[in-house]
Structure 1
Amino acid sequence: MDLGGYQNLFDDGDPDRDVAALLTDGRRLLGMPGFWACYLRTLMVSDADDLLATVWNASADDDLYDYVDPDRWEVLRVPLRDGAELAVVFRNLDEDSGVDYLILPGGGAPAILIASVDGHQSGPGLSWPELAGVAARQDDPVRRARALLLLAPAFGDAAAGTPEAVALITEAMRTLGATGDVGRAAAALASDEVDFWGHITWENGVPDSDLAPRNPKSVFALPEPDHLRAERLLSPNDI
């Protein structure tokens, strides 16, 4: 599987590391309620918070990598526009595992890494309007719910702390099988206490974070052509 040269980021000359051969379709994960509980708990809220496990009737002792194949790098994709996609990659690199969020512009253009959630994270990669817009463009309620929750760990935005945002997250969680006090769990995901990003302010498509590739002043700043391409493809307009 070729993700627009993404695999070249890990080319250190080791002949035993063939990332392209490790990349595999991870769609099997999407039908597992326990996966959603572990994914969101691990990447967004404290591991000690059992609420997400409760609403999905999952074990609070489960680990995200109980679901993700330890021997492969599973990839999940979300359509954008003009043939572009967002890809979520479960990077099972020894001593450097994490989850990477990429834009695949298509047409032979290289992948654009907009966020990584790991021990040396970069992001956020999405504003709340962008996340909600990408989800709204999907074809049916299940795909919309999956897109919203799958990309949620890559967003960080003060605009998410509204009743409307919590209601949208609540609806997505219920669509994917959550029951019980789902509203409280959704509020936790939209709160300013989520790991890594919290509530970042955005202005003209730029997050106020020194860790964000989409901030031209960041240490991880994208090249200007990639920055502009990401802004266009993620625009919540023309849904």
Structure 2
Amino acid sequence: MPFRINDIVAIRASVITPVCEDGRMPLRGYLDGFQPSVDASVLVDATSWLDDPLFWPAFLLAPGGSFAAAVAFDADPADVEAYAEEMHQHDSWPVISLDLARGHRLHILFRNFDGDSGWDYLVQPTGSDTAITAAALDGGFHGPALSWSELVKTASRPNVKHGQAERLLLLLPAIGDSGIPPEAHGVVTSAVTAVGATHRQDDVARELLNASHRFWGESDWGERHGLPVCLGGYSPRHSEASLDRLALMAEAFGG
């Protein structure tokens, strides 16, 4: 598969800043937290990139953590790496937004900040222009954002813009759960196949499910006042978090 650099340049030239319906910038406060602060013009709506043949092998490689992804999609590894480099330019921060339960939204942001790059999963509460970090991969580790059961429920929500397989794979890097059931491997394998993989889907699924250990190791889940809490030390949903924050995350990822 040839690397379609002209297509990527054309996509990057079509910069769309994600805004709320009333015109507010939901990521403004998040960007102001960097030193120096980051201008909103770097934000690129990357939703259309999901249709590019090289997007999924590149995303499943980084941040997904699957080194078999290029082969699985019958893509040249050099092409996949070149595509991934385009996704991680300092002057362009791709954003993929997903609808969550009860009107909440999730922004998956490629944090291409010089010296502190990574991937952030940001929850935007319904009716708010704030962005709450649910998970941060690389840089200052925060996470996981959600458990396996919450991932399945969120990916399976009806009447959403992205398909179930796409949502599951986009969210998968942000999970952490020591209690992932045996059937999870088949679920992820089916999702990888649904987005275009034709070889070694089992290997890709295994790598994706094991990848969260890179960031926060084993993650057990419990409850506090009936709300899910992560017992790991890096999650914003830890047992000492405010009940309001725990309730918000439970609602967003559980409905």
Could you say which TM-score interval applies, normalised by the shorter chain? 0.7 to 0.9
Runs of 5+ consecutive residues of structure 2 not aligned to the other structure? 1-17
Q: Which residue of structure 1 lines up, in the alignment, with residue 28 of structure 2? A: 7
- The equivalent residue for 2:230 is 207
Q: Residue 185 of structure 1 aligns to a residue in which SS?
A: helix
> Aligned partners of 1:129, 1:81: CA distance in 2, in Å?
14
2:96 aligned counterpart, secondary structure: strand
CA deviation vs aligned residue, 1:1-56 (integer Å, no higher than 9, x gap): 44765332342697x844323222111221134322222222243xxx64121101
SS in structure 1 of the partner of residue 55 of structure 2: helix
Q: Deviations over 1:158-203 (max 9, x none)?
A: 23251x1111111111110001221222122223774213441111
Residue 131 of structure 1: aligned partner:
151
Which residue pairs with 2:190 in the alignment? 171
Amino acid at match of 2:29: N
- Compute the displacement of 1:146 (Å): 0.8
Which of residues 104, 115, 123 is equivalent to 2:135? 115
**Bigger shift: 110-119 or 132-141?**
132-141
| CA pair 224-191 structure 1, distance change in 2 beyond 3 A | same
The match for 1:26 among 46, 51, 72 is 46
1:1-239 equivalent positions in 2, closer than 5 A: 1-2=18-19, 5-11=26-32, 17-45=37-65, 50-61=67-78, 62=81, 65-68=84-87, 70=89, 71-108=91-128, 110-139=130-159, 143-162=163-182, 164-191=183-210, 194-204=213-223, 205-217=228-240, 221=241, 223-235=242-254
Aligned residue identity for 2:72: V
| Percent identity of paired positions between Structure 1 and Structure 2 | 30
Q: Is the 8 A contact 2:93 2:111 kept in 1?
A: yes
Size of the aligned set, in residue pairs, is: 227
- Confirm or deny: 8 A CA contact 1:166 1:190 kept in the other structure: yes
- TM-score computed with the length of structure 1 as normaliser: 0.83
The Cα shift of 1:109 comes to 5.5
Gaps of 5+ in 1: none
Amino acid at match of 1:59: D
Distance 1:101 1:24 in 2: 15
- RMSD between aligned residues: 2.7
**8 A contact 2:147–2:176 mirrored in 1:** yes
Are residues 156 and 171 of structure 1, via their aligned partners in 2, closer, same or farther at CA, if it must alter by over 3 Å?
A: same
TM-score (norm 2): 0.78
Residue pair 2:173, 2:212 contacting (<8 A) in 1 also? no
CA distance in 2 between counterparts of 1:142 and 1:10 reads: 26
Q: Is the 8 A contact 1:29 1:67 kept in 2?
A: no
